[in-house]
Amino acid sequence: MQNTTSILIDRNIDDVFRLTHQHVAEWSIIVVEDEVIEEKPGGVGTTFRTVTEDHGKRMEFAGVVTRCEPPYVHAVHLTGKMFDIDAEYVFNESNGRTRVTQRATVTGNGVFRWFMLLLGWAMKRSHCKASEQEMESLKRFCETEARSDHAQTLQRVPPNT
């Protein structure tokens, strides 16, 4: 099952790139834990653990960064018990704003693979809606909360005298 979702964020590309992949548990509506296990130079090969919660069901994924080209592309592969996810985020700057495009492919494992084949049409519709909600949450985070945190940090730093 594949899905592509895109959104325009009123923030520069460097900030959006950094906030998107370094603060996942803060902006995502389903990721409740996101922990780096081993960081690799340049990002590719970095391993991490992600826990999601959706409708009261928790799932754990082992992740690896498969592509990292700041500030333009960041991709990961997540391996879970029921399914795997390949997600790629592409960032394009336009007049100080950033368009983020998420491409995701979900592949069922074991029995869940057959379940996805049988009910894929219904799952795809649900997955598309969830992706849109995730991107809206990312937009809100990048445009509001993250800027507020940055402004508070600047207020705490004493001016140069």
Write the pLDDT tens digit of every residue in 31-41: 999 999 999 99
What does the pLDDT read at residue 106?
87
| pTM score | 0.81
What does the pLDDT read at residue 25?
95
Q: How far apart are CA 18 and CA 148, in angstroms?
A: 16
What does the pLDDT read at residue 92?
98
What does the pLDDT read at residue 131?
85
Q: Give the residue ranges of the chain where pLDDT is below 50.
A: 114, 121-122, 124, 151-157, 159, 161
Q: Please, which residues have CB within 8 angstroms of residue 38's CB and are 6 or more apart in sequence? A: 46, 47
Indicate the fold that domain 2-154 takes in CATH: Alpha-D-Glucose-1,6-Bisphosphate; Chain A, domain 4 (3.30.530)
Q: How far apart are CA 103 and CA 10, in angstroms?
A: 21
Q: What are the beta bridge partners of residue 92?
A: 99
Give the DSSP letter string of 101-119.
EEEEEEEE-THHHHHHHHH
Domain boundaries, the chain: 2-154
What does the pLDDT read at residue 55?
85
